[in-house]
Amino acid sequence: MGRGGETVSAESIESAGQTEFRRALKAIGLLLLAILCFDIMSLLVRILSARYAAPELSAYRNVLGIVPSLALLIWTGELRLRGSSLRIANWPLAIGRGFAVALAQLFFYSALARLELATVATLGQTNALFVVLLSVVLLGERVGPWRVAALLVGFVGVVLILKPGSEAFSLAGLLPVAAALCYAISMVTVRFFGPEVSNGLLYLYSSAAAAVGAIILAAFTTEFSPLHSLADAGLIFGMGILGGVGVLFMMLAYRSAAPSILAPFGYFGILSAFCLGWLVFGEAPIDTLFPGVVLIVGAGALIMWRENRRG
C-alpha cells in the first residue's frame, strides 16, 4: 500500500508537471503569435501613414479592434451581457485606463510613421522600467538596489539610442517612450480592481473607452481623410483586426502561464521588428540601436530575474 501510494504520488506529480509544461508551451506560442500580429499591424500602419494621419489610424484600429475581442469574450461566456454584470464599482478608473491606451496608441502610431520599426520596438521595451517606477508611486512598493540598478541601466540604454544633444537626436524618438509610459499606466492601475471584477468585463471597459478616446483625439487633432481605395479599406480593416487579435492572444497567454515565464519571450519583438523592417523597408538601424538595445534588454532581464528570486 505504501509503495503503491508512493507510485501513484510520483505519477501524479509527473503528470502535473507535464500538464504545466504543455500549458507553458501553449502560452509561449500564443505570445509569439501576438507579437507577430502586432508586427504585421505595425507594417500596415507604416504603409498607411503615407496617406492617413496617425490619429485617424488609431481611431480605426481601436474601433475595429473591439470586434474580435468582444466576440470571443461572449462566445466563451466570460462576458455575460446582463445588466448587473456590466457594472463596475471603480468605473471611472476603468474608463481612464482605456483613455491611457488610446493615448499610447496615438504616440505609437506617430512613432511608426517617423522611425524604423526596430527602433520603435526597442524603445517600447522601456515599458518594464515605467512599470517599476509607477509601482513605487501608485502602489507604494519598495525599490531595492537591484531594481534601482535596472532602472539606471535601462535609462542609459535609452539615452544611447536617443542621443540627446547630437545631430542624430529627434523628438520623434520620445514618442515610443511616451507610448510605453501610457501602456505602463494601464498595466499598473489594473491592480486597483478587486478579484470580483472579471478580466473580460475590465477588458471591455478598456477597449470601449480606448475607442471613444481615440475618436475624440482624432477629432481634435486631425481631419478624417476619405478612403483612397478599396485596398486601403482592406489594409485598415486588417490593421484593426490584427491589433484586436494580438491583444486577445496576449491576454490568453498571460492567463495560461506566469509572467516570469513569458516576459523573456517579449524581447522576440525586437528581433522580429528588425527582420520585418529590413525585409520590407530596407531598414537596418544597427548603429542607432547598439549598444543601447543591450542595456534596455539587460535592464528588463534584471528586473525579471529579481522578481523570480523574490517569488
SS3 144: coil
Say what the pLDDT of residue 14 is. Answer: 59
Question: What's the average pLDDT block by block, 10 residues per block, for the chain (311 residues)?
Answer: 52 65 84 91 94 94 83 67 64 90 93 93 87 84 79 88 77 92 87 76 83 92 90 95 84 70 78 91 87 88 71 56
Distances (CA, A) of 113 to 83, 92, 176: 42, 32, 11
Say what the pLDDT of residue 203 is. Answer: 76
Query: Positive or negative, the Cα torsion across 70, 71, 77, 82?
Result: positive
Q: What is the DSSP letter of 80?
A: -
SS3 6: helix
Say what the pLDDT of residue 1 is. Answer: 47
pTM (2 d.p.): 0.82
Give the C-alpha separation, 38 to 269, whole Å.
9
Give the C-alpha separation, 311 to 307, whole Å.
6
Give the C-alpha separation, 231 to 236, whole Å.
9
Query: In the structure grid, which three cell numbers stand for residue 265, read together?
Result: 519571450
pLDDT tens digit sequence for 79-105: 655 554 567 778 889 899 889 989 999
Give the C-alpha separation, 125 to 122, whole Å.
5
Question: Where are any strands of DSSP class E within 124-254?
Answer: none
Quick one: which of 125, 114, 36 has its CA closest to 281? 114
Say what the pLDDT of residue 45 is. Answer: 95
Evaluate the omega torsion of the peptide bond into residue 68 and state whether it is cis, within 30 degrees of 0: no
CA dihedral 166, 170, 175, 178 (to 10 degrees): 30
Distances (CA, A) of 119 to 4, 93, 275: 59, 32, 12
Say what the pLDDT of residue 80 is. Answer: 58
Say what the pLDDT of residue 258 is. Answer: 67
Q: What are phi and psi of 166, to 5 degrees?
A: -100, 170
